[in-house]
Amino acid sequence: TRRRGKDAAEEAALEHELLADEKERAEHLMLVDLARNDLGRISVPGSVAPTEMMVIEKYSHVMHIVSEVQGTLKEGKTGLDALRASFPAGTVSGAPKIKAIEVIDSLEKAKRGFYAGVVGYVEPGGGLDTCIVIRSAMKKKDQLVLQAGAGIVYDSLPHREYDETRNKLGALMKAVGLEV
């Protein structure tokens, strides 16, 4: 993840820097492999593959490297089976998934609530459309809770991960009238 540029030249430089960053590439490829593994459990053997690989997706305050992984469901499996196999998503849990979740549970002081969960809908014909709840805001009585995160890997630099999280919160902070 990188912040958005202030002009076209800076935007292009940040995009190039993101795609060239070895740490970001390694982290992303690890997550693509994790998604392939998750989908492989409920997909026809040999059908799981990336359909889009390492493209830049831009939002109001940040840009991300994005890949899409698809597979053909095995006979008798549904979109809900795919959802169960994929959650919690590796992008918010890490790998190896079970151990990463245990470490997160032992370190995080507050419960995540709906953060890193799933929201979506089932269509009348059985189609399923979902997304991961990230960069979220929730009002609890007189408290407003904003949530965002960053992926921590072996060679993460704490100040860079903090900056990434602040950049991700930028749109939410602006939406609720807080200074970014």
Active site residues: 64, 91, 115, 135, 151
Q: CA 95 to CA 65: how far, in whole Å? A: 18
Structure tokens at 32: 């693509």
DSSP bridge pairs for 65? 56
Q: CA 180 to CA 167: how far, in whole Å? A: 8
CB-CB contact of 90 with 38 (8 Å): yes
Q: CA 179 to CA 152: how far, in whole Å? A: 26
Q: Measured between alpha carbons, how far is residue 118 from residues 7, 106, 168 in Å?
A: 34, 22, 19
